Chains A and B, each alone.
Chain A
Amino acid sequence: MKQSSYKLIEYTMLLFGVIIFALSFWQSRHHVGQQIIITAGAAVFYVIWGLVHHWMEKRLTLEIALEYVLMGAFTFLLVLIALGV
């Protein structure tokens, strides 16, 4: 499979991931506990997506892995604050 096909699949997966996150988050809008779990799941998904993406591009480094972990954690905390938890 061509590199461009891999990329298309990767970005489609990311797009689906964030859309599913947004829809599930909306669906659970009156259930804070569910929203926390959904956000945690989305953050983990994002970190894994980043790691796979860079691994497939053969440029995964510890620094890049840490960047995805930090971005996932930051976003999770941001939502947690908004939920008033």
Chain B
Amino acid sequence: MRAYLPDSTSGIEKYQFIYHFIPHKEHKSRARLLSHGALISYSFVLVIFAVLIRFLPAFAPGVLGYASDINVSDLLRYTNERRAKVGLRPLSLNKELNDAAYKKANDMFKVGYWAHVSPLGTKPWDFVLNEGYDYIYAGENLAKNFSNSEDVVQAWYDSPTHRENLLSPNYDDMGFAIVNGVLDGYETTIVVQMFGRLRAPTQLAAVNEISEGFPSTQVPITEPEEAVPKEAVEVKSAPEPALANLQSGTLPAAEKEKGFVDVRAVTQSITIVFGGFVTALLGVDIWYSKKHGIFKLTGHTLAHLAFLLVAIASVMLSVFPGSVL
């Protein structure tokens, strides 16, 4: 519908609809899409999205998830590159530690926990010992929801306690598991990294458990406790990394899951669309008001723009949905 303003109005201003996007000269007001009502509406829609993302997994497990492209050879390479930078020798991939890591990851999906020690009391070292790896030193790093191998190793490196494991001279061997499954309703990828050094028969074992309140301690080796029952686990897992494949560089990644909505892509798109839209309107407001000398009794548009732009830039540069433990 077309409405006409007084004769002095020309150009795009003769279309009332345009005042949804530009300030009004006569009313001395912001664009309608920057009004209080509009901002309340955007906030309301964002709350709806937040609630949906938060609670949908409880009603429809596996619908939302985190897409990832992580593989063992990259994890091994990035870890050993970090070690080389500080003059440490590279760690070797060890089959027993791979198996222990794989069983730990499966246990987390099966029992439903995100911790070093399971709710049933199973410790990382139980998995290591159960695989017949008799250690003098052992350590474990965990990661979930990351999109690639480099981010995983970087996140461990950025955390002082995890970095201690990555750069420890006490280890000779390393094992990885990259397993897909549903945890807390989200389709996700868990990465388990196990470290170890085999012990000589007369030595005591030490573990480096990366978790707050669990400092490295010297503990005597005990017989491994009975692990949780080995029932069928409903996880879509990567095949166990085979040492034979290491030379050819074909270590498997976790299977790429299809059929779920990637949380990372959805949340970033929402942020860009809503943030970008309001940012653009604020930019137009500044430009148009200056051009036509419109003085409005409103808040400081440039301050709004600066605050919003910094927030969006921070989100783009500093939001990594993955977490380490």
Contact = CB atoms under 8 A, between A and B. Distances in A.
A29 B311 contact: no
Interface string A21-34: 11001101110100
Contact of B43 (A67, A70, A83, A85): A70
A43 to B, nearest CB: 9
Interface in A34-66: 35, 39, 42, 46, 49-50, 53-54, 59, 61, 63-64, 66
B115 interface: no
Interface residues of A, number: 39
Give the size category of B's interface with A.
35 or more
B114 to A, nearest CB: 13
B297 A61 contact: yes
A50 B46 contact: no
A38 B104 CA distance: 34
B314 A78 contact: no
B299 A21 contact: no
A81 B270 contact: yes
Given A30-B158, A70-B40, A74-B46, A82 B310 contact: no
Contacts of B263: 84
A74 to B, nearest CB: 5
Contact of A82 (B39, B158, B304, B319): B319
For the residues of B in contact with A, the DSSP-based class is helix
Interface in B13-70: 36, 39-40, 42-43, 46-47, 49-50, 53-54
Contact of B323 (A30, A42, A46): A30
A61 B297 CA distance: 9
Interface in B279-325: 297-300, 303-304, 306-308, 310-315, 317-324
A31 to B, nearest CB: 8
Contact of B278 (A28, A42, A53, A74): A74
Given A32-B323, A85-B54, A70 B39 contact: yes
A2 to B, nearest CB: 19
Contact of B299 (A26, A29, A42, A71): A71
Contacts of B264: 84
A18 B314 CA distance: 10
Given A70-B43, A85-B50, A25 B307 contact: no
Contact of B36 (A39, A59, A67, A78): A67
B318 A50 contact: no
Q: Would you list the 3 A-B pairs with minimal beta carbon distance, nearest first?
A: A77-B46, A70-B39, A82-B315
Interface of A: 14, 18, 21-22, 25-26, 28-30, 32, 35, 39, 42, 46, 49-50, 53-54, 59, 61, 63-64, 66-68, 70-71, 73-75, 77-85
27 contacts: A18-B307, A22-B310, A22-B314, A22-B318, A29-B158, A29-B318, A29-B319, A30-B155, A42-B311, A50-B299, A50-B300, A61-B297, A64-B299, A67-B39, A70-B39, A71-B39, A75-B311, A77-B43, A77-B46, A77-B50, A78-B311, A81-B49, A81-B267, A83-B321, A84-B263, A84-B264, A84-B321
Given A28-B318, A67-B39, A78-B275, 5 more contacts: A22-B310, A63-B298, A75-B307, A79-B314, A82-B271
